Structure 1
Amino acid sequence: MKDYLRDYTTAAFRFYAQNDKSAEKYKKKVYIQALEDGMIREGNKSGISKPTETAIIAAEGAVSLKIAEINDMEAVEKVIAELDVKRRRDIIQAIEYVYFSNPQKDIEDIKAKVHIAEIYIPASERSIYRWLRQARDLFAVERGLRVN
């Protein structure tokens, strides 16, 4: 897999973890934030319980602007579901230890995270990296990314 694809897929897994591991929650968060912003701009005192049509349209537009992020998160969810169905708990654990733990921190500590995964899964470093590659490959296919 090319480096740009590895970086993109890794970022997608980490983004998913940074946003409550739920595409649906992320969509709601974006929608509600845009709705609240629209209500504030319009000076609507009735609050979010009675949004104006303009605020609703703006909120829907905000969600559509985040469609790439939402699609990435949904692809991660599908990858994890597929691995679960295939009973590949080892790969899921590798994802959790390496990509999901402290996702807001710089990715430079990936080697340390792989080492932690080695200890707790337990598995070899080589296995961890192979499993992560398999997860990234599944993501790329799910997302329809060009893999040459």
Structure 2
Amino acid sequence: MKKDNIRDYATEAFRYYAACGRRTSDELKQEVKDMIYEQSKREIIRSGSGSYSDDTAYKVMKADDEEIDMTAEFLDIIAVEKTLMQLHKHQRLAVEIVYFTDAKRELGKGDISKRVHKAEVEIPASTMTIYRWLRNARHVFSRERGLRIDK
């Protein structure tokens, strides 16, 4: 596979989306808020201080800070969602087979090639067609994400 300047970033964005359980950005934002609220509730109980208003204000500020820290992840997820909506069925299937398989595990040498071969058999399409679809998906992602791409 020829390397383009956004290949690694786009590949990891697709894998991150799959590792998050293919949930929408809104679902992930709510999960982060809930996690922070629960954590801050435990901290207030442990400290034994603070009024209800302090607790609420702390939770809101902490959730907002965490949301700002995760802005890049949310933007990646939104771009992946938009990309998948733009791909036709076989392209989407190729992306799922190659990028979504074992998304939480590190990629090893030759993993992408093996998955492309698997996609070649399952879809069916030629190896070059699969690579072309993956490149197209990465370029659609980069446009949706607002990344610079050189052709």
**Smaller-chain TM-score bracket:** 0.7 to 0.9
Determine the C-alpha separation between the residues in 2 that align with 1:141 and 1:10. Answer: 14
Where do 5+ consecutive residues of structure 2 fail to align? Answer: none
Match of 1:64 in 2: 68
Bigger-Rg structure (1/2): 2
Q: How many residues are treated as equivalent by the alignment? A: 140
Range 56-65 or range 69-78, more displaced: 56-65
Q: Which runs of 4+ in 1 moved over 4 A?
A: 1-4
Identity of matched residues, %: 38
- What are the ranges of 5 or more consecutive residues in structure 1 without an aligned counterpart? none
Larger RCO (alpha carbons 8 Å, 6+ apart): 2
AA partner of residue 6 (structure 1): R
> Offset of 1:106 from its aligned partner?
2.0
1:8: which partner in 2? 9
Are the equivalent residues in 1 in contact too, given 2:5–2:149 (CA < 8 A)?
Answer: no
2:67 and 2:101 mapped to 1: Cα distance? 27
Give me the whole-angstrom Cα distance separating, in 1, the residues matched to 2:125 and 2:134. 13
* C-alpha distance in structure 2 between counterparts of 1:145 and 1:95, whole Å: 19
TM-score by length of 2: 0.85
- Say whether the 8 Å CA contact 1:76–1:139 is kept in structure 2: yes
TM-score (norm. length: structure 1): 0.86
- Provide the aligned C-alpha RMSD in A: 2.0
1:14-93 alignment runs, 5 A limit: 14-22=15-23, 23-43=25-45, 52-83=56-87, 88-93=88-93
Q: Distance in 2 between matches of 1:2 and 1:117?
A: 20
Say whether the 8 Å CA contact 1:12–1:76 is kept in structure 2.
Answer: yes
Paired amino acid for 2:93: Q
In 1, Cα distance between the equivalents of 2:91 and 2:140?
A: 11
CA contact 1:39–1:52 (8 Å) conserved in 2: no
